[in-house]
Homo-oligomer: A and B are copies of this chain.
Amino acid sequence: MAGYVSDAVIRRLPGYYRHLKELEREGVMQISSQGLGDRMHLTASQIRQDINCFGGFGRQGYGYSVPELREHIARILGVDQPHQMIIIGSGNIGRAVACSDSFPANGFETTAIFDRDPDKIGMQVDAMIVQDIANVKRFINEHPADIAVLAIPAEEAQAMADTLYALGIKGFWNFAPCDLKLEADAAVVNVHLDEGLQVLSFRMLHQQA
What number of copies of this chain does the assembly contain? Answer: 2
Does A201 contact B77, Cβ atoms closer than 8 Å? yes
What residue in chain B is nearest A193 (Cβ atoms)? Answer: B191
Asked if A96 is at the interface (CB within 8 A of a chain B CB), the reply is yes
Structural contact, A106 and B14, CB atoms closer than 8 A = no
| Contacting pair B200 A171 (CB below 8 A) | yes
With an 8 A cutoff between CB atoms, is A62 at the interface? no
Question: How far is B100's CA from A201's CA once the two chains are assembled, in angstroms?
Answer: 18
Contacts of A209 in B (CB 8 A): 182, 184, 186-188
**B1 contacts A206, CB within 8 Å?**
yes
Task: Report whether B189 and A207 are in contact in the complex, using a CB–CB cutoff of 8 Å.
Answer: no
Residue of B nearest to A92 (CB): B96
Interface membership of A123, Cβ < 8 A: no
* A73 nearest CB neighbor, chain B only: B198
**Count of chain A residues near B, Cβ 8 A:** 62
Most chain B CB atoms below 10 A, which of A10, A97, A147, A195: A195
**Interface residue A70 (Cβ < 8 Å from any Cβ of B):** no
> Which of B78, B92, B172 is the one whose CB lies under 8 Å from A202?
B78
Query: Does A159 make an interface contact (CB < 8 A)?
Result: no
Interface residues of A in 23-49 (CB under 8 A from B): 40-41
4 more CB-based (< 8 A) A-B contacts, given A15-B195, A106-B198:
A76-B202, A76-B205, A95-B96, A189-B200
